[in-house]
Amino acid sequence: MLKLLIGLGLPYIGVIGMLPWVASVERFVLGVPFIYAWIFAWFVLTSGCMLACWLLFDRHAGDAAHEA
């Protein structure tokens, strides 16, 4: 359950759940509107969430399959 929360829940909340707030921000990040910077940042953060899930939960799953 925690694996799904980290791998799917956090990116979903970050992109879809926070979108109304992000759309209301009128700032720029390095010359780019904040909403575009937010979405681009979540490309990287989603990959980080997937990496965290693999490191925490799935890294040794293949080892057990080869030993059996």
pLDDT attached to residue 27: 96
pLDDT attached to residue 64: 65
* Cβ–Cβ < 8 Å for 45, 7: no
In sequence order, which residues have a C-beta less than 8 Å from that of residue 6 and are 6 or more positions away?
A: 49, 52, 53, 56
pTM: 0.76
- Percentage of the chain beyond pLDDT 70 is 90
pLDDT attached to residue 28: 96
Q: Give 3-61 pLDDT, tens digit per residue.
A: 888 888 999 999 999 999 999 999 999 999 999 999 999 999 999 999 999 998 888 77
